[in-house]
Structure 1
Amino acid sequence: MTNDYDVVIVGGSLAGRYAALLATQFKAKVALVESQVDYGLIYRQAMGQIAHLAQSGDNLANFGLPSIHTDKDAKLLSAINWEEAMLYSQGVVANIQAQTSPSVLAAKGVDVIFGSGQFSNTPDLAFAINQRRLRGRTYLLANGSRPAIPEIEGLKATGYLTLANIWQAFKAAKPPQDWVIIGGVPQSIEIAQTLAKLGCRVILIINHPYLIPHIDPEISQLLLAQLETDGIRVLTEAIVSQVRKIDDKKWLQVGDKAIEVDEIVVATAQQPNIESLNLPVANVKVSQQRLLINEKLQTTNRRVYACGDVIGGYDFANIAQYEAKIAIKNALFLPKFKVNYSHIPWAIFSEPTLTRVGLTPKQAQRRFGNKEIIVLRQYYKSTAAAQLENQMTGVCELIVSRKGEILGATIFGKEARELINLIALAMSQKIRVQQLENFSPIYPSFSEILEKIAGEWNYQQLHHDLARQEWLESFFYFRRSWNL
């Protein structure tokens, strides 16, 4: 049985469902194939909120906690009713899922097919599933990724958890108290803080010099200091060589250190879910387990597009949705839209939150030269809102050109995810930094820091202009003197 569609979406992610809904707005005939949607991000966010409330003692009854504050040790971890906590998380996921549920998709005209399939080229290209052949004018791969497990001696035999199944550990009568996280992705930082808030002892192992590459080292150090303040032991430039299980404990050899823990979480990288798709018959090429795509999100088969973490990189929902917009418009119409990540923000949901958009100082210097950029910084302690709420840990960094064009920003602090959205909007609309001086935010609010950073730019420009004026005056003075 063969069915024809404008686009066949190989889903299994929120981006896949978002793409299907978007395609229906263009009156397209859409098929969505999915086996299981990964809601791990929502679960982690919900559990992080539980940990925050449990640590602060707020709304404890909602999560089966006693009405009194508990000590920050194993008592807090054991005090939480994890059955109630999981019900809360499942409720959050259900509410979000309802917005793009199969019934909603079907009502919009999407043909939703459950199961796993693969490409077939007999007699022509189609996606085969459940004895059906879904023949599309175009195809979109949006089937996400899964944790990549490093080759470490003894790891598989000893056992481990990943970001996808970590919460299973809390169903035990006695949840693990000592954890090690073999990290490398932003979510490893998030989960480390969540566990620490629950009173667990946490060691985070990173194999590179900084927590997160490609951000300002000063800001990376601020985040590292915050993790250490939270009681997290961070080992950078550290490599796990082997893992063993002795009695009921797990042992890791990290350089010359032997570490004993209750549980191991592997969060080093993600790998795309592409092995079962039979991509060679669709002439879709892969290099080093990554899809080869162009800036229009086309694979090596121009009829097959891809979006989200199936194409590699970190798992950020907003970036996946942005890519889905580009891919669907190119798949349904002329392929003329190109991805431009320069004004798309991303965030690490640490506490405080770390966010970024555009270029870092080093990237801007390499592209434009040292003399053509200005790095502006304002610290949270300079704002009234930070003082009032005792949230003074934080910094706002803007990278701008000499003409005031905003090239990038990194914000670490309270409400950073909202502030970075404003900067990203300004960048997309080509609003220059000097125009932010006209921004009069509610006082007190954390948005005040944007007004202050615009003032810093104007201050630097004034001094730059004065210095230039003094140089010109000196130049013409000596020239007149020489002519005399």
Structure 2
Amino acid sequence: MSNDYDIVIIGGSLAGRYAALFATKLKAKVALLESRVDHGLIYHQAMGKIANLAQSGDDFAGFGIHATNTANAKKYPISVNWTDAMLYAHGVVSNIQEQTSPAVLAAAGVDVIFGSGQFSTSPDLAFAVNQRLLRGRTYLLASGSRPAIPEIEGLQATGYLTLANIWQAFKAATPPQDWVILGGVPQSIEVAQTLVKLGCSVNLVVKYPYLLSSVDPEISQLLQAQLEADGVRIFTEKGVTQVRRIDGKKWIQVGDKAIEVDEILVATEQQPNIESLNLADAGVKLHQQRLLINEKLQTTNHRIYACGDVIGGYDFANISQYEARIAIKNALFLPRLKVNYCNIPWAIFSQPTLTRVGLTQAQAQRRFERKEILVLRHYYKSVTAAQIENQITGVCKLIVLRNGEILGATILGTSARELINLIALAMAQKIRVKHLADLSPIYPSFAEILEQTATEWSNQKLHSNIAWQEWLEGFFYFRRNWNL
């Protein structure tokens, strides 16, 4: 039986829409199945913009931000007209959504189908939806993920919000003011800082020793110090044992402390949206509720690929789009491309921004001999642009080999989102750290920190060579005297 499509994309995420458009550029015949698209991340970024405007202290009437007294007036003397602010956020989402709207997709040649369905293997592999069988030469799972709700006594009965619906709370006549966030993902940090800048009281509970287990401890501690200075109350290595509703308030037990709040946000792990797809009959295997995929993004059925947060891991748009390009090319042509995340940067949209690419110091030390690794760091406080703009909180940390190969970088500070892209490009093009030291960026600019950090390589190498030479001299001196 002939196939109707080159690829059938099981969507429900922005990654699915991006993949569909990318496939049309490769002249493929594409079907995109959608039940819903989660725009929560875009809402969050729009609200984060409002928070940044509020922090600046100016009057942005067009955004619904006006100078009034707030509960957190000493730190942030701006409050938000939430009705106007949500209209602004909705406008941002609508503008971004329009770029990959069903109309745009259809105009590009994508057959957009709305509804839910599942794989069928009778008589051949197909996807059944709306009493119709979609037959594709290949298939792509891009159905996204949803919050994995922890099993905590009383949580379900008390009620809670998730990252997918948190912004609905601000449509209420009186939005919640006192929050507790059960964190563990980048967005939990972003939301905590956004809420506190908008005048809310925020408690952030993290089960790890540091805010994020995937970041160097020294960077994580610096970010934690910034959040605490902003007013976020942080509990690390604390477990939540129970939740109760008492007299209209929500109470949450964190370790030996009981916290009274208006609202609870669950922002822990995500789980893939795959339960209803009948993957077992299609030969797609799971391990601990996660898709088993290879480096080519194929599932255990070689005709079915996957991309985006349905795979697992943090939900970063640029990584999802990178995976979509790899998966689409492999699905439509020979499956020869492999994912390589070493040179793909990611960011946490905190203030200041935290970005990372490649290996951390701990990862590099596990992979290479310690004597081969040099750790270069430079702080924002010595950068002229940071002094001028009063943005001196931050650090640039490079992990390099003695030969100058860049293994990874972490930047916490203003303009980190732009700076990390330069490091990622240097790593992808095998540019050694000594060339970053010759960057000669515009003065003043935050890019100076790359030049200044890279300069540490030659200094450390020189000191290391001197130390090695002194050790050799001592060794031969000892040999000579021992022979005497």
TM range (shorter): over 0.9
SS at match of 2:135: strand
Q: Which residue of 2 aligns with 1:112?
A: 112
Tell me, yes or no, if the aligned pair for 2:29 and 2:110 is still in contact at 8 Å: yes
Tell me, yes or no, if the aligned pair for 1:2 and 1:134 is still in contact at 8 Å: no
Tell me, yes or no, if the aligned pair for 1:2 and 1:133 is still in contact at 8 Å: no
Tell me, yes or no, if the aligned pair for 2:145 and 2:309 is still in contact at 8 Å: yes
Q: Which residue of 1 aligns with 2:385?
A: 385
Structure 2 Cα separation of the partners of residues 451 and 412 of structure 1:
16
Q: Which residue of 1 aligns with 2:359?
A: 359
Q: Which residue of 2 aligns with 1:150?
A: 150
The answer as to 2:427 corresponding to 1:460 is no
Shift of the 470–153 alpha-carbon distance from structure 1 to 2, 3 Å rule, reads: closer
Show CA shifts across 1:141-192 (max 9, x none): 0110011111111111111111111112112222111110011111001000
Shift of the 114–372 alpha-carbon distance from structure 1 to 2, 3 Å rule, reads: same
Show CA shifts across 1:62-95 (max 9, x none): 12333x4544538989942222111111111121
Structure 2 Cα separation of the partners of residues 71 and 174 of structure 1:
13
> What is the 5 A alignment of 1:231-250?
231-250=231-250
Q: Which residue of 2 aligns with 1:162?
A: 162
Structure 1 Cα separation of the partners of residues 482 and 156 of structure 2:
82
AA at the equivalent of 2:395: V
Structure 1 Cα separation of the partners of residues 431 and 351 of structure 2:
29
AA at the equivalent of 1:104: V
| TM-score (normalizing by structure 2) | 0.96
Tell me, yes or no, if the aligned pair for 1:152 and 1:240 is still in contact at 8 Å: yes
Q: Structure 1 residue 256: deviation in Å?
A: 1.6
Tell me, yes or no, if the aligned pair for 1:211 and 1:220 is still in contact at 8 Å: yes
Structure 1 Cα separation of the partners of residues 288 and 479 of structure 2:
64
Tell me, yes or no, if the aligned pair for 1:57 and 1:69 is still in contact at 8 Å: no
Q: Which residue of 1 aligns with 2:90?
A: 90
Q: Which residue of 1 aligns with 2:261?
A: 261
Shift of the 178–77 alpha-carbon distance from structure 1 to 2, 3 Å rule, reads: farther
The answer as to 2:6 corresponding to 1:6 is yes
Q: Which residue of 1 aligns with 2:202?
A: 202
Structure 2 Cα separation of the partners of residues 172 and 478 of structure 1:
79
Q: Structure 1 residue 134: deviation in Å?
A: 0.7
Q: Which residue of 2 aligns with 1:64?
A: 64
Structure 2 Cα separation of the partners of residues 453 and 302 of structure 1:
45
Tell me, yes or no, if the aligned pair for 2:10 and 2:140 is still in contact at 8 Å: yes
The answer as to 2:118 corresponding to 1:123 is no
Structure 1 Cα separation of the partners of residues 172 and 46 of structure 2:
19
> What is the 5 A alignment of 1:55-454?
55-66=55-66, 68=67, 70-71=69-70, 73=72, 79-454=79-454
Tell me, yes or no, if the aligned pair for 1:74 and 1:200 is still in contact at 8 Å: no
SS at match of 1:15: helix
Structure 2 Cα separation of the partners of residues 461 and 54 of structure 1:
46
Moved more, 419-428 or 51-60: 51-60
Tell me, yes or no, if the aligned pair for 2:102 and 2:112 is still in contact at 8 Å: yes
Structure 2 Cα separation of the partners of residues 12 and 220 of structure 1:
33
Q: Structure 1 residue 415: deviation in Å?
A: 0.9
Shift of the 479–177 alpha-carbon distance from structure 1 to 2, 3 Å rule, reads: closer
Structure 1 Cα separation of the partners of residues 249 and 73 of structure 2:
17
Q: Which residue of 2 aligns with 1:17?
A: 17
Shift of the 77–128 alpha-carbon distance from structure 1 to 2, 3 Å rule, reads: farther
Q: How well do the aligned residues superpose, as a CA RMSD in angstroms?
A: 2.1
Moved more, 18-27 or 53-62: 53-62
Q: Structure 1 residue 131: deviation in Å?
A: 1.6
Structure 2 Cα separation of the partners of residues 407 and 167 of structure 1:
38
Shift of the 239–479 alpha-carbon distance from structure 1 to 2, 3 Å rule, reads: closer
Tell me, yes or no, if the aligned pair for 1:206 and 1:238 is still in contact at 8 Å: yes
Q: Structure 1 residue 474: deviation in Å?
A: 6.3
SS at match of 1:403: coil
Structure 2 Cα separation of the partners of residues 473 and 198 of structure 1:
62
Shift of the 302–3 alpha-carbon distance from structure 1 to 2, 3 Å rule, reads: closer
Tell me, yes or no, if the aligned pair for 1:291 and 1:311 is still in contact at 8 Å: yes
SS at match of 1:357: strand
Tell me, yes or no, if the aligned pair for 1:48 and 1:194 is still in contact at 8 Å: yes
Structure 1 Cα separation of the partners of residues 424 and 205 of structure 2:
32
SS at match of 2:65: coil
SS at match of 1:337: coil
Tell me, yes or no, if the aligned pair for 2:396 and 2:410 is still in contact at 8 Å: yes
Q: Structure 1 residue 2: deviation in Å?
A: 8.9
AA at the equivalent of 1:39: H
| TM-score (normalizing by structure 1) | 0.96
Q: Structure 1 residue 122: deviation in Å?
A: 1.3
Shift of the 123–371 alpha-carbon distance from structure 1 to 2, 3 Å rule, reads: same
